Amino acid sequence: MIPALTDGGLLPPGRHAATMAEIEEIFVEQAPHSDRRRRIFRAFQLYADMMSDILERGTFWVDGGFCTYKAEPPDDLDLAVLIDPMLPLTGKDHERLIPLFTLQGVQVGSPLLAASRVQPMGGLIDSFAIVAGVVEQEDYWDGTWSKVKGPDGEPIPGAVKGYLEVSW
């Protein structure tokens, strides 16, 4: 169950198990800017369906402005996707996975069609792959998702918050 948010509109520190239904209730139905959040959540539901079509099991670590109650609406939902290295993935599976992750330094054909960052689901999801069980990768994303950022987008020294974990 998702714990109550702090007075600052953040999840308390730690990784909190959640279901998709709980996320929808707390961070769409009960949250400010529910229309924007509903669109982001619908993208997340479709993203989760697409991911589960490829991976028989996995885990999402869910974070970002979507998992907070702030004055401004969230831009997107941030995900770290833990992928079990023991899953038997084919070359076709890898081809299907690549467009589901945030890509950086993308150029298509000409410099006119270049971007520093391309996010899946029309920019509503910001998603990064983690090899499950690789401690360095898990520690990096745990630390990243636990940071509290100020209005300038910079981490606030010593401030920590929580994030959500959804498994299938």
Assigned domain for 101 exists: yes
Query: CA 168, CA 162: separation in Å to the nearest integer?
Result: 20
Buried b (16+ CB within 10 A) or exposed e, 102-125: beeeeeeeeeeeeeeeebbbeebb
Q: Are strands 114-118 and 103-107 parallel, antiparallel or unpaired?
A: antiparallel
- On the question of pLDDT at 107 being above 90, the answer is no
Give the total number of structural domains in the chain. Answer: 1
pTM across the whole model:
0.93
Element (H, E) at 81: strand 77-83
1 inside domain: no
Domain assignment present for 58: yes
Q: Is 164's pLDDT higher than 90?
A: yes
For residue 6, being part of any structural domain is answered with no
Q: Could you read off the pLDDT of 71-86 as tens digits, one per residue? A: 999 999 999 999 999 9
Whether 21 is covered by a domain: the verdict is yes
Range of the domain at 83: 14-149+158-167
Give the domain CATH number at 47: 3.30.460
**Inside any domain, residue 131:** yes
pLDDT in tens, 36-65: 999 999 999 999 999 999 999 999 999 999
Query: CA–CA distance from 137 to each of 31, 66, 84, 129 (Å)?
Result: 31, 23, 13, 9
Give a yes or no: residue 30 inside a domain.
Answer: yes
